[in-house]
A and B are shown apart, each in its own frame.
Chain A
Amino acid sequence: MTPLLSVRALTKRYGPHIGCADVSFDLWPGEVMGIVGESGSGKSTLLNCMAGHLVCDSGQVIFDTRADGPTDTLTMSEPARRMLSRTDWAFVHQHARDGLRMGVSAGGNVGERLMAVGARNYGDIRDTAIDWLGRVEISETRIDDRPTTFSGGMQQRLQIARNLVTGPRLVFMDEPTGGLDVSVQARLLDLLRGLVRDMGLSAIIVTHDLAVVRLLADRLMVMKDGHVVEAGLTDQVLDDPQHAYTQLLVSSVLQV
């Protein structure tokens, strides 16, 4: 079996500062990988480098494309990479506003990706949008409302629907539950877990919330100062942390 995504020695510097250094890992089909670490540890930099939002200094991000098999996405032509990022890839931003078009209705937001890959039948697009709004627990009656009228949790669910509508194989998530209150977080996590399992998605989730990775991730990478300090199965890393920083991280979680 070929890994869906292979990252090799990915490095990104901001001048003399390290964004992330020498990160390598494989992501297998259907696997969910969590990346945890404190603020400034380079986890978002890493995610943005992999998704092609940032230009990295060296390394490879090899994705198993449908057409040509494993291809380095960093040396891929820009049209091909952008095509990839609206078909096989999805990116869920921390702030739904960054990932949604706030001036366009919920249905239009969900339909945009479909239209971007050539859907030209209004009825079909709308049916798909209704189906997807249902899957993320947004009432069909809100389809023509703008996301500005939605609550934070609904906006985040809409963003997820908008991203998953083209059936991507790899989802990048940057703190998907950040800024939501705990009950809304719980519902969102539940929903994400369901979608990931049903669609057989692979995902890379960046978060500082250990509960999120405990629930969603199969494997875990712990980052500190741009380096990966520990990696392994989620339960293994969280229950038996080896590196001093991981031990600190795990013991910092408040017990209620």
Chain B
Amino acid sequence: MQEYNFAYLDEQTKRMIRRAILKGLAIPGYQVPFASREMPMPYGWGTGGVQVSAAVLTPDDTMKVIDQGADDTTNAVSIRKFFERTAGVATTTVTGEATVIQTRHRIPEEPLKEGQILVYQVPIPEPMRFLEPRETETRKMHALEEYGLMHVKLYEDISRHGHIATAYAYPVKVEGRYVMDPSPIPKFDNPKLEMAAIQLFGAGREQRIYALPPHTKAVSLDFEDHPFEASKADHPCGLCGAQDSYLDEVIVDDEGGRLFVCSDTDYCTHRQEAAR
């Protein structure tokens, strides 16, 4: 059998992606177009994230893949297997031990450190897509910093629900310049966007890469009289008792019984072990 090139993509492609990543890091929040490749998985499964991960991986890296915070769901398992096979890198489920973390829709609970890279899978990189469908127009709006439309979305939320009901993919303004879609992470995670690790965002179908360098300011948009609130379910975790982590609601029987558990499985497991 023919061997794969390290991390599946050929070197020229990785070079092209790295160039896009560097440009993204130089202009935080700006969506850099790149020539996204066909990957051996369907769009929507993280083709963008996988390409970014492939471009930043080195043989010495330790990789962790999470899907909605969990290490053991289909998406996470298949992508982890993919890199085990094509790159032969070490993998882990422990947040603190990983150097590259590819994530779908969550930021790990444990604060990330300098030297780590967090790679997001992004379905729709354009925060204004559903308000202004023309890409030519949204690009111009980004270029000229015309972001009034973003607040129209929040206005609509308040007028319909009485509060800002956008619970995920909550838009942030990066370093006072570009408005960015932080991928569909819950807004609970928004304050964590200002971190010590490098954050890279890859959208495969939409062919865009953007990035947040360490300690970049990312302010969630809001109104003076309806300030941003990082919300979560008002319960402790049913397994580890954590008060401060983002929770999934799990239906446990057909009589309305439900359980709230940490969506970050690694965090929850560690807390349970420590309690024992």
CA distance A126 to B158 in the complex (A): 10
Partner of B144, one of A78, A115, A125: A78
Q: Tell me whether A144 and B131 are in contact (CB under 8 A).
A: no
Which residue, B145, B148, B149, has most C-beta atoms of chain A within 10 A? B148
Verify if B2 is at the interface (C-beta below 8 Å from A). no
Q: In this complex, what residue of B is CB-closest to A111?
A: B155
CA distance A115 to B159 in the complex (A): 15
Please count how many residues in chain B sit with their CB below 8 Å of the partner chain's CB atoms.
17
Partner of B146, one of A82, A105, A107, A123: A82
Q: Tell me whether B148 and A115 are in contact (CB under 8 A).
A: yes
Partner of A144, one of B146, B160, B225: B160
CA distance A113 to B224 in the complex (A): 17
CA distance A144 to B146 in the complex (A): 24
Verify if B81 is at the interface (C-beta below 8 Å from A). no
Partner of A116, one of B149, B160, B224: B149
Chain B residues with CB below 8 A from A174, complex form: none
Q: Tell me whether A112 and B152 are in contact (CB under 8 A).
A: yes
Chain B residues with CB below 8 A from A82, complex form: 144, 146
User: Interface 1/0s, chain B 154-168, versus A by CB < 8 A?
Assistant: 011011100000000
Verify if A184 is at the interface (C-beta below 8 Å from B). no
Chain B residues with CB below 8 A from A101, complex form: 131, 152
The minimal Cβ–Cβ distance linking B274 to chain A, given in whole angstroms, is 44
Verify if A79 is at the interface (C-beta below 8 Å from B). yes
User: Interface 1/0s, chain A 86-129, versus B by CB < 8 A?
Assistant: 10000000000000010111011001110111001111011000
Chain A residues with CB below 8 A from B160, complex form: 105, 144
Q: Which chain B residues have a beta carbon within 8 Å of chain A's beta carbons?
A: 131, 144-146, 148-149, 151-152, 155-156, 158-160, 223-226
Q: In this complex, what residue of A is CB-closest to B154?
A: A122
9 tightest Cβ-Cβ pairs between the two chains A and B: A116-B148, A115-B151, A122-B223, A115-B148, A121-B224, A79-B144, A108-B152, A112-B152, A108-B155
Chain B residues with CB below 8 A from A112, complex form: 148-149, 152
Q: In this complex, what residue of B is CB-closest to A78?
A: B144
Q: Tell me whether B144 and A121 are in contact (CB under 8 A).
A: no
A-B contact pairs, 30 of them (CB 8 A): A78-B144, A79-B144, A86-B148, A101-B152, A104-B152, A105-B156, A105-B160, A107-B155, A108-B152, A108-B155, A108-B159, A111-B152, A111-B155, A112-B148, A112-B149, A115-B148, A115-B149, A115-B151, A115-B152, A117-B148, A120-B223, A121-B223, A121-B225, A122-B155, A122-B223, A122-B224, A122-B225, A123-B225, A125-B155, A144-B159
Verify if A143 is at the interface (C-beta below 8 Å from B). yes
Partner of B158, one of A78, A116, A122, A143: A122
Chain A residues with CB below 8 A from B155, complex form: 107-108, 111, 115, 122, 125
Q: Tell me whether B224 and A108 are in contact (CB under 8 A).
A: no
Q: Which chain A residues have a beta carbon within 8 Å of chain B's beta carbons?
A: 78-79, 82, 86, 101, 103-105, 107-108, 111-113, 115-117, 120-123, 125-126, 143-144
The minimal Cβ–Cβ distance linking A21 to chain B, given in whole angstroms, is 30
Chain A residues with CB below 8 A from B152, complex form: 101, 104, 108, 111-112, 115
List 20 extra interface pairs beyond A104-B152, A122-B225, CB under 8 A. Answer: A79-B145, A82-B146, A101-B131, A104-B156, A105-B159, A107-B155, A108-B152, A108-B159, A111-B152, A112-B149, A113-B148, A115-B155, A116-B146, A120-B223, A121-B224, A121-B225, A122-B155, A122-B223, A122-B226, A126-B159
Q: In this complex, what residue of A is CB-closest to B224?
A: A121
Q: In this complex, what residue of B is CB-closest to A114?
A: B148
The minimal Cβ–Cβ distance linking A133 to chain B, given in whole angstroms, is 13
Which residue, B151, B223, B225, B226, has most C-beta atoms of chain A within 10 A? B151
The minimal Cβ–Cβ distance linking B89 to chain A, given in whole angstroms, is 45
Chain B residues with CB below 8 A from A103, complex form: 131
Chain A residues with CB below 8 A from B156, complex form: 104-105, 108
CA distance A107 to B158 in the complex (A): 11
CA distance A112 to B148 in the complex (A): 6
CA distance A76 to B263 in the complex (A): 52
Chain B residues with CB below 8 A from A105, complex form: 156, 159-160
The minimal Cβ–Cβ distance linking A146 to chain B, given in whole angstroms, is 10
CA distance A164 to B160 in the complex (A): 24
The minimal Cβ–Cβ distance linking A156 to chain B, given in whole angstroms, is 21
Q: In this complex, what residue of A is CB-closest to B222?
A: A120
The minimal Cβ–Cβ distance linking B164 to chain A, given in whole angstroms, is 9
Which residue, A113, A125, A126, has most C-beta atoms of chain B within 10 A? A125
